Amino acid sequence: MIAATTKKESRTAARFRLSWRSLVPFWLLLPSLIFLAVLQLYPVIYSLYISLHRLRAGQYMPVGFRNFERLFADTNFYEGLAVSFRFVGISLVLTIGIGMLVAVLLNQRSQFNALYMVLMFVPWVVSDVVAGTIWRWLFQQDYGIIQNMIQPLTGSTSLYAKPDGALLIVILATVWRGLPFTSLLFLGALQNVSTEVIESAALDGANRWKTFFRVTLPIIRPTLIVAVILTTIAGLNSVGVILTLTGNIPATQTVSVYLYEQGWQFGDFGLGAAISVVMFFINLGLTLVYLRFQRQD
Amino acid sequence: MVRTQQQRRIDSIIVNGLLIMICLISIFPVAYALSTSFKTQREVISKPPYLIPQNWSTDGYDQVLKSSLIRPHLLNTFINATGSSIIIVVLGVLAAYAFSRYKFPGNKLLQLVILGMIMIPTLTNLIALYRLGSQFDLLNTNIYMILIYVANGLPFGIWIIKAAIDAIPIEIEESARIDGCGPLQVIRYIILPLALPGLVTAFLMEFVFFWNEFLIAVVMLDNNNAKTATVGLLNFQNSYQTAYHVWMAGSVFIIAPVLITFFVLRRQFFRAMLQGAVKG
Amino acid sequence: MKKRFLLLTVLVLAIMTSIASAQDRPAITVWTKFNSDTPQNVQDEWMKAAVDDYNAAGGSITNVFQPYDQINSKLNLAVQAGGDVPDVSYVDGQFLGFYDYNGTLTDITEWVKAQSWFEDLSPAALSACTTPAGVILCVPTATPGSLTYYWTELYPEGFPATAEQLLNEDCPRLSADGRYVATFKGTENFGLEVAYHSLIRSAGAAISDEDGRAAWANDEMVKVIEYVRSLFANKCAPEIALAGGFDFENSFKDNSAAAILAGTWTYVFNNPVTAPNGTLYDLGADSIFTAAQDGQIGFAPPLAFEGGQPASNVYATAWAIPTGSANPDEAKEFINFTMESQRNADFGVAYGSLPSLLSARENEMFQTGYWQQVAEIQNTYGTAMPFLVEYDRGIAALAEVFTKCLTDTSLDIMATLQAAQDNYNNSIQ
């Protein structure tokens, strides 16, 4: 803390300085707080309000919890949740798993690392709409170059005409975009693990695998959990890639696509707001669960 | 256990081989999009598809250049993404400094509340923001998009920047304080230079995000002069068909500037990330 | 001094008159799904010509392109949340119930009835813009509908009259040749509106009951889904039909599918095409017409079951004046401008459907074989979609049942229909 005053100062001066100083963080935070209050907090409260109303011809009619009742009675909502968890679960495992592998490889400090990292980051700058269309194009039935290569495996039909295939391509595109950032996060964590710890483990006779899982992994667990949280939230809220890649079909209708469909396409703003509220708590709940893992020891 | 020279060489081949493969997978879709953008309409729908255009054509680019994708759409993207990222970094530094260096009641709680805003689904706020914009007559303006983006990106920005400031030893500031520097001066002369990689990282991540932002823009923007490039790209896709070579040419225009920005800032970005810019 | 004063007066007068003349014709905005900025096809070019001509005639209109799958939602949001409402907008006639419920469009009944072209409107087109209460909310510009295109060489005796015949006789014959009997969009709302609508009607099933509630869980609807299932099971239809998007069309373009369950607009997008004899038709929107002139492509009513009537799903494209339009009078000027007979006929050809004006249908452009057949199919088999308050959601819910049951053949059709029906009836507001 810096706010300590020197004893020599007079009492009044100290009090003045203290009160001014204690307001400093407030002044520093004020601009951010104004932004967040007006353009985040107010809209959220407004959404809560909409979720209890029906909007028709510009008028709000209170309907109590009817929107939530409709939501919880809608089987599409549960199906959307199921698709979301499948989608997020698989892409999470792949992103984290491959991301870790890439980080370990980069941590061998090949002389070409700088080049590898630049090339690897290309997908990171590609927008979700563009990425979705490019991937759709790769798997297009007749003209898709990857579809043509895998034709012997899938038969004559495009992979995305099959429900699991459509979800798989969406997952691949998502992992493709999420991988560089995750790898970099892990690489940072790995580089901060002191070599002494690794070497002492090696001296104890542990092989490289054992050292990694018993020594390195526990040390970088905080970073691992951050990556898991970020990947999960990004996946749960992903809309652009899915819609551009497969359109709105049941096989890839995640709960966020369901929100897009109901709350935006169908113009059912009340139900949309209700879905938003539920989704917020899902996001929050998952984050809290993950954070529990971090605190366990 | 000392590994032999030969083992090391084999290791190196495996490591480099795998990394080259990952790099190829990373750039292949974008490279193929680039190749498609130089094809003719006819070649785009040829069976089997070619990896490289048989007849190089700039038809896709001609159509993009004739359209409004560059001006005003890409220009809007540039204004919105740059404006919002810079404001986020400036406000983020002030806020993060307050969170990092001052004890005040509710510090932790406020941080958690702000971090919690990351969990709000994007679509949640849009109806309210649309109404708000129309009440203040700000709909379809770059200013309003920037304001929305700032609020949207600020929680993440503060989080990243706070980690960068946390990493600066407090002792460095204390001497400046004794010399009579106020908090703004400390931020200006001590925090900014020392936290620069962290700030660049925050800027780059926000910039990339808002350059590519689609969902907010597609709902909020009704006006051709205000549309951003990701929304403007839809102009090339009408009801039942997509002219893929034109679309890919448009995509190249969207990807290139942000790729160059990344390339210019990559050293600072990598350094900050490797030192743990995104922390638990 | 005097000179300067005079100059100033002239200048002020000039500015005032220019303002005054600008006030005569206020600048207006129109929302369409046509990209007049970068025309991609004949529809876009029609819009560009309309904007240019209107502005050349002293008007001032700006066209704002909205993606086809967003325009109805965006218009609704703009009205509900007080956004920059356009003065006039393109609307899809099927959404009339949705617009009526939400109060999105202004009642223009009196005005429409007073216009010179009112008597000239096709009754089907007018009814597509009229609510059950008799309120006219939009001005129909064309009446697209569904029909079948087929390669004549692959159906030497014409396209089969019944769905059963297609499955039992043509499918074995054509699949022996490695061909599909037909391709179609099998998912999303488009699939239901174009491919399944006629099967549903001819089987005796319905999209909704008289109260606008779902009435799907019945044997007739099961029959439809089972039929389409067997089309896929017997490789009579390409599996790509079950993907999102519009890739299914390629099977017809390269004649690997012998027919396409299409709309009157299909020729605008479905080109180039290659005939079974190898002839390539690469003439843009004229490709299909030229192939038809050569006797390569034929047209038939939508696919229907034996004992039932084919049903061509006829709806309307239309202009509407949204609630909150700043310049409704100038918007009406623009509508009047486009409802001139020749321009209306041009729109019909560009959009790919019969124009809404009967006089425009008399235009020589519509005297070709294709349009004669379209007119006959629509006159004989034209049926409109039900007036649904939640049209989009209802159609999407039923389309989802189709997609689910077709991609997962182990699913119990009746149970899935029942669940979707209950779900929809519970979820409507």
Q: Are residues A215 and A268 part of one domain?
A: yes
Instruction: Check B127 against C78: CB less than 8 A apart.
Output: no
Buried b (16+ CB within 10 A) or exposed e, C141-177: bbbbbbbbbbbbebbeeebbebbeebbeebbeebeee
| CATH value at residue B221 | 1.10.3720.10
State the average pLDDT over residues C68-91. 91
C 61-80 near A (Cβ less than 8 A):
69, 73, 76-77, 79-80
Q: Residue B121 is encoded by which pair of tokens?
A: 């689904």
Q: Residue C66 is encoded by which pair of tokens?
A: 């909205």
**What distance in Å separates residue A19's CA from the closest CA in chain C?**
45
The pLDDT of residue B2? 55
Q: Are residues B67 and B192 part of one domain?
A: yes
Comparing CA positions, the residue from C275, C227, C274 lying closest to residue C406 is C227
Does A215 reside within a domain? Answer: yes
Alpha carbon distance C264, C258 (integer Å): 18
- For residue A151, CA distances in Å to C157, C234, C243 come to 35, 20, 16
Instruction: Check B26 against A123: CB less than 8 A apart.
Output: yes
Instruction: Check C423 against A73: CB less than 8 A apart.
Output: yes
The pLDDT of residue C8? 58
Residues spanned by the domain of A17: 11-51
Does C237 reside within a domain? Answer: yes
Does C36 reside within a domain? Answer: yes
Does B280 reside within a domain? Answer: no
Q: Are A47 and B128 in contact (CB under 8 A)?
A: yes
Alpha carbon distance A42, A21 (integer Å): 30
Q: Are residues A246 and A164 part of one domain?
A: yes
- Sign of torsion, CA B94 B95 B96 B98? positive
Q: Are residues C261 and C174 part of one domain?
A: yes
- Over C255-281, what HEC string results? CCECEEEEECCHHHHCCCEECCCCCEE
Does pLDDT of C36 surpass 90?
no
Q: Are residues B142 and B19 part of one domain?
A: no
Does pLDDT of A109 surpass 60?
yes
Q: Are residues C401 and C293 part of one domain?
A: yes
Closest partner residue to A56 (CB to CB) among C82, C101, C238 is C101
Instruction: Check A265 against C69: CB less than 8 A apart.
Output: yes
The pLDDT of residue A7? 45
B155 contacts chain A (CB < 8 A): yes
Q: Which residues of C touch B135 (CB under 8 A)?
A: 82
Q: Residue C25 is encoded by which pair of tokens?
A: 């014709």
Identify the DSSP state of B190.
I
Q: Which residues of B touch A50 (CB under 8 A)?
A: 127-128
Q: Are residues A47 and A72 part of one domain?
A: no
Residues spanned by the domain of B134: 59-274
Q: Are residues C184 and C224 part of one domain?
A: yes
Q: Are residues B80 and B187 part of one domain?
A: yes
Q: Which residues of B touch A106 (CB under 8 A)?
A: 19
Does pLDDT of C11 surpass 60?
no
How many domains does one find in chain C? 2
Q: Which chains touch A (3 or more CB pairs under 8 A)?
A: B, C
Does C423 reside within a domain? Answer: yes
The pLDDT of residue A12? 47
**What distance in Å separates residue B231's CA from the closest CA in chain C?**
9
What residues have CB less than 8 Å from A146, skipping those under 6 apart?
A138, A139
Q: Are residues B179 and B76 part of one domain?
A: yes
C 272-291 near A (Cβ less than 8 A):
none
Does B54 reside within a domain? Answer: no
B 203-242 near A (Cβ less than 8 A):
208, 211-215, 219, 230, 233, 242
Q: Are residues C244 and C333 part of one domain?
A: no
- Listed range (A135-139, B145-149, C178-182) with the worst mean pLDDT: A135-139
Rg (CA), chain A: 25
pLDDT tens, position by position, B14-30: 999 999 999 999 999 99
Does pLDDT of A85 surpass 60?
yes
Instruction: Check B133 against C83: CB less than 8 A apart.
Output: yes
Q: Are residues A109 and A15 part of one domain?
A: no
The pLDDT of residue C7? 57
- For residue B184, CA distances in Å to A20, A261, B157, B167 come to 14, 47, 19, 19
- Grade residue B6 by pLDDT with cuts at 50, 70 and 90: confident
- For residue A14, CA distances in Å to A4, A7, C209 come to 10, 9, 80
- Listed range (C159-163, C239-243, C329-333) with the worst mean pLDDT: C239-243
More confident residue, A17 or C217: C217
Alpha carbon distance A245, B260 (integer Å): 26
- Grade residue A296 by pLDDT with cuts at 50, 70 and 90: low
Does C155 reside within a domain? Answer: yes
Does C159 reside within a domain? Answer: yes
Residue A245 sits at φ, ψ, to 5 deg, of -80, -50
The pLDDT of residue C15? 54
C65 contacts chain B (CB < 8 A): yes
Mean pLDDT (chain C, rounded): 91
State the average pLDDT over residues C90-99. 93
3-state secondary structure of A238: coil
Q: Kindly state the helix (H) or strand (E) to which residue A243 belongs, with its residue range.
A: helix A240-246
Q: Are residues A73 and A47 part of one domain?
A: no
B 62-91 near A (Cβ less than 8 A):
91
C398 contacts chain A (CB < 8 A): no
pLDDT tens, position by position, C224-276: 999 999 999 999 999 889 887 778 888 999 999 999 999 999 998 888 899 99
How many domains does one find in chain B? 2
Does B12 reside within a domain? Answer: yes
Q: Which residues of C touch A162 (CB under 8 A)?
A: 239, 242, 407
3-state secondary structure of B140: coil
The pLDDT of residue A2? 40
Instruction: Check C243 against A141: CB less than 8 A apart.
Output: yes
Does pLDDT of A14 surpass 90?
no
- Listed range (B63-72, C310-319, C404-413) with the worst mean pLDDT: B63-72
Instruction: Provide the number of CB pairs (under 8 Å) joining chain A to chain C.
Output: 108
- Over C157-179, what HEC string results? CCCCCCHHHHHHHHHHHHHHCCC
Q: Are residues B22 and B142 part of one domain?
A: no
C83 contacts chain A (CB < 8 A): no
**What distance in Å separates residue A76's CA from the closest CA in chain B?**
18
Q: Are residues C276 and C201 part of one domain?
A: yes
Instruction: Check C83 against B67: CB less than 8 A apart.
Output: no
- Comparing alpha-carbon positions, the chain A residue that sits nearest to C69 is A265
**What distance in Å separates residue B198's CA from the closest CA in chain A?**
14
Q: Are residues B126 and B16 part of one domain?
A: no
Does C18 reside within a domain? Answer: no
Does C21 reside within a domain? Answer: no
Q: Are residues B218 and B89 part of one domain?
A: yes
Q: Are residues C200 and C119 part of one domain?
A: no
Does B222 reside within a domain? Answer: yes
- For residue A196, CA distances in Å to B13, B201, C80, C345 come to 26, 30, 65, 82
| CATH value at residue C258 | 3.40.190.10
Instruction: Check C64 against B134: CB less than 8 A apart.
Output: no
What residues have CB less than 8 Å from C163, skipping those under 6 apart?
C199, C202, C227, C303, C304, C305, C306
Substitution target in A18, A29, A294 with the highest count of B β-carbons within 10 Å is A29
Q: Are residues A78 and A44 part of one domain?
A: no
Does pLDDT of A20 surpass 50?
yes
Instruction: Provide the number of CB pairs (under 8 Å) joining chain A to chain B.
Output: 272
**What distance in Å separates residue B32's CA from the closest CA in chain C?**
20
- Sign of torsion, CA B90 B93 B94 B96? positive
CB atoms closer than 10 angstroms to residue B48 = 12
More confident residue, A10 or A72: A72
pLDDT tens, position by position, A93-104: 999 999 999 999
Does pLDDT of A75 surpass 50?
yes
Does A1 reside within a domain? Answer: no
C401 contacts chain A (CB < 8 A): no
Q: Are residues B241 and B203 part of one domain?
A: yes
B222 contacts chain C (CB < 8 A): yes
- Grade residue A9 by pLDDT with cuts at 50, 70 and 90: very low
Q: Are residues C349 and C366 part of one domain?
A: yes
Substitution target in A129, A204, A290 with the highest count of B β-carbons within 10 Å is A129
Does pLDDT of C5 surpass 90?
no
Does B158 reside within a domain? Answer: yes
C 126-165 near A (Cβ less than 8 A):
none
Q: Kindly state the helix (H) or strand (E) to which residue A61 belongs, with its residue range.
A: strand A59-62
Q: Are residues A42 and A92 part of one domain?
A: no
**What distance in Å separates residue B24's CA from the closest CA in chain C?**
28
Q: Are residues B164 and B28 part of one domain?
A: no
Q: What is the largest CA-CA distance in chain B?
A: 75
Instruction: Check B125 against A47: CB less than 8 A apart.
Output: yes
Does pLDDT of C60 surpass 50?
yes
Substitution target in B238, B241, B244, B245 with the highest count of C β-carbons within 10 Å is B238
Instruction: Check C84 against B68: CB less than 8 A apart.
Output: no
Closest partner residue to B130 (CB to CB) among C37, C64, C77 is C77
3-state secondary structure of B40: coil
Q: Are C221 and C163 in contact (CB under 8 A)?
A: no
Q: Are residues A97 and A33 part of one domain?
A: no
Does C13 reside within a domain? Answer: no
Comparing CA positions, the residue from C105, C94, C113, C103 lying closest to residue C138 is C105
Comparing CA positions, the residue from B177, B176, B181, B163 lying closest to residue B97 is B163
pLDDT tens, position by position, C118-137: 999 999 999 999 999 999 99
Strands C317-320 and C88-92: antiparallel
C427 contacts chain A (CB < 8 A): yes
Instruction: Check A136 against C396: CB less than 8 A apart.
Output: no
Instruction: Check B121 against A128: CB less than 8 A apart.
Output: no
Does A266 reside within a domain? Answer: yes
Does B103 reside within a domain? Answer: yes
pLDDT tens, position by position, B191-238: 999 999 999 999 999 999 999 999 999 999 988 889 999 998 887 775
- Comparing alpha-carbon positions, the chain C residue that sits nearest to B218 is C70
How many domains does one find in chain A? 2
B19 contacts chain A (CB < 8 A): yes
The pLDDT of residue A143? 80
Closest partner residue to B18 (CB to CB) among A32, A105, A112 is A105
Is omega for the bond preceding A62 within 30 degrees of 0, making it cis? no
Instruction: Provide the number of CB pairs (under 8 Å) joining chain B to chain C.
Output: 72
Alpha carbon distance C248, C186 (integer Å): 9
DSSP codes of every residue in B45-112? T-SSPPSS-SS---HHHHHHHHTTIIIIIIHHHHHHHHHHHHHHHHHHHHHHHHHHH---TTHHHHHH
Q: Where are the beta strands (DSSP E) in chain B?
A: 237-238, 241-242
State the average pLDDT over residues C3-29. 61
Residues spanned by the domain of C80: 27-144+315-383
| CATH value at residue A146 | 1.10.3720.10
B 236-265 near A (Cβ less than 8 A):
242, 244, 247-248, 251, 254-255, 258-259, 262-263
Q: Are residues B92 and B4 part of one domain?
A: no
Q: Are residues A275 and A128 part of one domain?
A: yes
B238 contacts chain C (CB < 8 A): yes
Is omega for the bond preceding C272 within 30 degrees of 0, making it cis? yes
Q: Are residues B9 and B67 part of one domain?
A: no
More confident residue, A109 or C202: C202
Substitution target in A54, A66, A76, A261 with the highest count of C β-carbons within 10 Å is A76
Closest partner residue to C83 (CB to CB) among B130, B224, B239 is B130
